[in-house]
Amino acid sequence: MKKIILILIILITTLNLFSQIAVGEWRDHFSFRDISFITESEDEIIAASQNGLFFIDKEDKTKNKLTKANGLSDIGISTINYYTEEQLLFIGYDNGNIDVIIDNKIINISDIKNKNISAGKEINKVVFIDNFAYLACGFGVVKLNIDNFEIVETYYIGDESSLIQVFDIVLFSDNFYAATEQGLYKAEINNPNLIDFNNWEQIQDIPNFDKNFTSIVNFKNILYTIYQNETTGKKNIYYYKNSTWQLFKENQNSSAILFANPDKLIITTRNKISIYNENLLNVRNIQEYDEKEMNANRVFINSEGVLWIADKYSGIVEENDDYTYEIHSVDGPSYNTYGKLFYVNNNIYSIGGGKKANGANSWNKGVFSWFTDERWHFSSNDDATDYYIIDANPNNPDNIFIGAWFRGIYEYNDFEFTEFYDVNNSEIVGWLNMDNYVHISGLKFDEAGNLWSVNPSTQPLCVRTPDNNWYSFNFDGKIDNKGTGELVIIGNNKWFPVEPQKIAVFNDNNTIADGNDDKYVILNLVDNEGNGFGSRFNAMEKDLDDNIWVGTDKGIATFFNTENAFDEGYFANRIKISGEINDTTITSYLLENDVVKSIAVDGANRKWFGTEDSGVFLISENGTKEIYHFTTENSPLPSNHILSITIHEKTGEVFFSTSYGIMSYKGNATTGKDNFEDIFVYPNPVRPTYSGNIVVTGLVSDVNVKITDVAGNIVFESEALGGQVNWDGNNFSGQRVQTGVYLVFCSNDDGTKTHVTKLLFIN
């Protein structure tokens, strides 16, 4: 498969799948453990997950991947197939989009995706005949010319040309056979008028002939098909022999799929692979991989006779000659269906559970992944459910705590689970006093090492001191079992949302054990005119000036001067944005038409807002100017539904958790330092082939940076964005600077902190 390997060399940083990226670049952090499809080229095994392709070299077993971040046009892969005669890889998506990789190019065919049609557009299967590809789609069958990549014809094969879901299509005795939601259909391959539905004959001599048939294969010139009972989900397998349909297997698991190669017929279910010879004798069963539980999605026997398994949790599993198994996967988190992201102690954490939009449990196993030193790692706790939020002990960064949306708080040391806190050994109280329903929504350490948590209960705020003493606060019953949200700590004030439309602020006066001097206030989320900010709280974050930003279903609410929270008349603010449209000034409120799901603040105090269906916004420090707006249309984001955002403070990389997985973008701002001991410039030297930004990072916050030649002529000057400055390599006239050594002068406002470093520029 040399042609596709060449494409990968061009489009992907091979082998080092998570190398550092430049400012303004994207990279994916998708999981490739849930593999749905397998095919092969001359040189590679090709596997597909929902979000991309995964290539394994047959000879040396090196691995590469290809996603929307580096070449593919979409996510949601629904089928793949390699056409050896044309050295062509076909990729179909569940929205009807198509990519074809051929001759060192990725060609996108979006006709079906863009078609206005009242049915599903997913591409379920592709078969090749000469210069044509025939696609089984959510509405019928499509004929595609693979010489010019144009759609030739569309066949609506249901009664009176109605649109029906076609799950599978196969060639048999000069006929097409299609498995559909309304039975099996047959048509002559050479019929010149397949557009006419009358030329597609419904097969009626098979049981349940007008019901759901999900799969059909040709094995040894005998057709095999699967009927699925719509009520029970169970599947029956039939075969066509001697002009009669006969029952082969009855009441198979709902996950059953058929695969046929020249010598074997295989029935695959989640926990069992059954292999049959040409006489339909069951010659082998596979139910585990070297004592590892099997969760097979699909099976493939390649041209060399090697069995490959697409597993739901392990990636690609290769069977060796001695019936042992080798698991192949590429680096990434354990799952794509993650919720919240956190930056803690130089690690990016992705938490794998939590609550649904209505507050119900997701019922995911206690799993979390972390990204450190450019690699992903993950941990799983079979005894835990719905991990939701995380923080690290400031006095011991290897000591982390995870709040779960079920039962309590889990403590880890060096990524090993060590302790569990619930109603039995802490002051935590369950929702409606039910011991198991401890919904931890907020978890945060203060500077003294006290761990604060909030959860909906009669005692919504709890704290664990460094000596493992617990205290709780009941707010005089005014927050009894009401929904709570994220916890933000500013000084000694603890902020957390309370449904509906309220925020609690609590101060223990630095005497946690003495409740007599505590004070609290419950703020209504309304502005100075008494107008509300929507009915749902989704996110809350403090910025570098200790202002609170709240994401709601009607945009953004902001609390300025938070030290005045206990003053009478304190209220939230709504930021107005003005713009000119056709010489008319239009005023609106910040993101007032968007559901804001997540907030993160970068090193320059700018705000990243993730929305429910409008993608990501980067807004200026004061909230009045839009800097970026990223969507699936203008970026590699896999979805416009943004669940969570976090930022790596040292590198400026912004991580987005979406409904289809994690993507990151290298921002141009980092968190500023207290001194210049970590300053560095990259790349250094700047070589003639380099065209990206030159980055000066590790700076003291918001310093002035001047770059001069050795004669003292200034070629660039800028204020740092937090702890970083980005230079395009051009002088003030927009011309590339000449070869030479350049001096980088850094200074704060009063000149008390200065630094000079050097940069070699080769042009």
- 580 sits in which H/E element: strand 576-581
Q: Which of 313, 325, 323, 328 is nearest to 289 (CA)?
A: 325
- 6 sits in which H/E element: helix 2-11
Asked if 127 and 175 touch (Cβ cutoff 8 Å), the reply is no
Asked if 44 and 53 touch (Cβ cutoff 8 Å), the reply is no
Query: Looking at this protein, which amino acid is placed at residue 509?
Result: N
For 257-292, what is each residue's pLDDT tens digit?
A: 999 999 999 999 999 999 999 999 999 999 999 888
Confidence at residue 4, expressed as pLDDT on a 0 to 100 scale: 53
Provide CATH code, domain 680-761: 2.60.40.3080
For 204-229, what is each residue's pLDDT tens digit?
A: 999 999 999 999 999 999 999 999 99
Residue with token string 């039910």: 434
- Ranges under pLDDT 70 in the chain: 1-19, 338, 580-581
For the chain, give the number of residues: 763
**What's the pTM value of the predicted model, to 2 decimals?**
0.92
Asked if 223 and 213 touch (Cβ cutoff 8 Å), the reply is no
Residue with token string 């001759």: 103
Confidence at residue 580, expressed as pLDDT on a 0 to 100 scale: 66
Q: What's the CA gap between 545 and 722, in Å, rounded?
A: 13
Asked if 410 and 400 touch (Cβ cutoff 8 Å), the reply is no
* Exposure string over 401-435, b if 16+ CB within 10 A, otherwise e: bbbbbbbbbbbbeeeebeebbbbeebbbbbbeeee
Q: Which of 461, 557, 453 is nearest to 504 (CA)?
A: 461
Confidence at residue 581, expressed as pLDDT on a 0 to 100 scale: 66
Distant-in-sequence, close-in-space partners of 304: CB < 8 Å, separation ≥ 6: 58
Torsions phi, psi of 315, nearest 5?
90, -135
Confidence at residue 532, expressed as pLDDT on a 0 to 100 scale: 86
Residue with token string 């990279």: 27
- Domain extent listing, the chain: 333-421, 680-761
